[in-house]
Amino acid sequence: MRYASRTLSVGAVLSYQLAMRFFPWLLCSLLLTPVSVLAAAPITLCENAWHDPVRRRTVPVRIRVPAGAAKLPVILFSHGLGGSLDAGAIWAQGWAEAGFAVVNVQHPGSDSAIFGKPGFKSALGGDQLMARAGDIQFVIGELGRRVIEGTCDLKRIDMARIGMAGHSFGAQTVQAIAGQQFLFVMEPPMSDPRVRAAIGFSPSPPLIGSPAEAFARIRIPFLSITGTEDAVPSVYPVTALQRQEPFRMMPPGDKFLLVLNGATHEMLAGQLSPTMLNGEPPVHIRNTVIAISVAFWRAMLQADKPALQWLQNPAELRAGLSAGDIFEARLTPPPSPPKAPLSP
């Protein structure tokens, strides 16, 4: 299936591209101003359910592949509790328009089939987290094995450039894939070294144990995205402020934090249609997330030096944010200068 861009604001992506070519301040000014939707190159959209015979589990996937013939980095997206392939559609569309293949993954057992049913919150446990990590590992393996899915040319996917993103329980899945440690032994291990960079929308610290110990081994580039209203206490006992802890507890080195003023948990799910709480993200949140996440993916999966320099210069980046938004970076400290030899 081929389609032109839906009614999505791609202005942030386009302004980022212009900023990298011309003036650093251009992105900042355009982030503050809604931009009319411009036509994007066609994107091939394919959907199927892939069966894992080893785990006896069927995993639905939705794949977006930009037009062209060149090799592409790929980003996998994991939904939150009670979600589906529709979760993250706004972010997936923005990333595909920016030149990335994107694969939304649906997790049976913690997806929309259980939403609202008695005891559905019990799916927020270790068994389902392990199943989700297994889904991601399985899908990565299938992307490397399959050559085509419908009209999507999977041969274009560069298996050396894999990123992963997820929202809420999907962010916890991202954290596990990235190397989060747990108090109980996970077999098989949930971490996957094939993933080179990650974004967590509404990330969470562990409910028990030390956050510092839990995140000490996450060494890949990681962007945490949260909001000042990013809490759902009736579902999960984590405050909006606590969602910043993963960023603060991970080892420094290409770790970034974006806090959006007024952003709720539901807005960060990035769905195209209103959901039960707060609906789609407003223009400012949508544009800012797409601009900064595209810069992150380009820096980490495409070795785009201007994008990396922009991310590593928070003062310049912050100039384009709305009032109350926060952006922070924790970079690898420069090596200490060699000590002068002691005098005899």
Provide the pLDDT confidence category of residue 274 given band limits of 50, 70 and 90: low
Name the range with the highest mean pLDDT among 177-191, 226-240, 265-279. Answer: 226-240
E-strand spans in 20-126? 43-52, 57-66, 72-78, 101-105
The dihedrals phi and psi of 298, each to the nearest 5 degrees, come to -65, -40
Residue 149 has pLDDT above 80, yes or no: yes
Q: How far apart are CA 98 and CA 148, in angstroms?
A: 22
Residue 54's Cβ-count burial label (10 Å; 0-12, 13-18, 19+) is exposed
pLDDT score of 340: 62
Instruction: Compute the average pLDDT of residues 164-190.
Output: 92
Instruction: Compute the average pLDDT of residues 279-297.
Output: 93
Q: For the chain, what percent of residues have pLDDT higher than 90?
A: 69
Residue 142 has pLDDT above 80, yes or no: yes
Cα distances from 273 to residues 77, 82, 88, 245, 278, in angstroms, run 18, 15, 11, 30, 10
pLDDT score of 7: 29
Instruction: Compute the average pLDDT of residues 106-132.
Output: 88
Structure tokens at 297: 């993916």
Q: How far apart are CA 59 and CA 103, in angstroms?
A: 12
At which residue do the structure tokens 């994008």 appear? 307
Helix, strand counts (H, E) of the chain: 10, 12
Average confidence score pLDDT of the chain: 86
pLDDT score of 33: 36
Q: How far apart are CA 295 and CA 126, in angstroms?
A: 33
Name the range with the highest mean pLDDT among 241-250, 273-282, 325-334. Answer: 241-250
The four Cα atoms 16, 162, 38, 280 give a dihedral, to 10 degrees, of -100
Q: What DSSP string runs through 25-52?
A: HHHHHHHTS---------EEEEEEEEEE
Residue 220 has pLDDT above 70, yes or no: yes
**261 membership: H or E segment, kind and range:** strand 255-264
Instruction: Compute the average pLDDT of residues 81-92.
Output: 95
Instruction: Compute the average pLDDT of residues 58-78.
Output: 97
Instruction: Compute the average pLDDT of residues 237-246.
Output: 96
Residue 300 has pLDDT above 90, yes or no: yes
Bridge partners (DSSP) listed for residue 192: none
**Could you tell me which residue, 340 or 138, shows the higher pLDDT?**
138
Provide the pLDDT confidence category of residue 341 given band limits of 50, 70 and 90: low
The CATH class of the 2-330 domain is alpha beta
Contact 218, 180 (CB under 8 A): yes
**84 membership: H or E segment, kind and range:** none
Q: How far apart are CA 277 and CA 217, in angstroms?
A: 35
- Identify the CA nearest to 65 among candidates 38, 90, 85, 92: 92
**Could you tell me which residue, 126 or 300, shows the higher pLDDT?**
300
Cα distances from 337 to residues 26, 119, 333, 334, 343, in angstroms, run 37, 57, 12, 9, 18
Q: For the chain, what percent of residues have pLDDT higher than 70?
A: 83
Residue 70 has pLDDT above 80, yes or no: yes
pLDDT score of 339: 66
The dihedrals phi and psi of 102, each to the nearest 5 degrees, come to -130, 135
**Could you tell me which residue, 246 or 22, shows the higher pLDDT?**
246
Residue 344 has pLDDT above 90, yes or no: no
Residue 309 has pLDDT above 70, yes or no: yes
Contact 247, 210 (CB under 8 A): no
Round the CA-based radius of gyration of the chain to a whole number and report it.
20
- Identify the CA nearest to 281 among candidates 303, 252, 258, 304: 258
pLDDT score of 32: 39
Provide the pLDDT confidence category of residue 272 given band limits of 50, 70 and 90: confident
Evaluated on CA atoms 76, 77, 81, 82, the torsion sign reads: negative
Choose the weakest-confidence range: 2-16, 151-165, 223-237: 2-16
Q: Where are the domains of the chain?
A: 2-330
CA 1 to mean position of chain CA atoms = 25
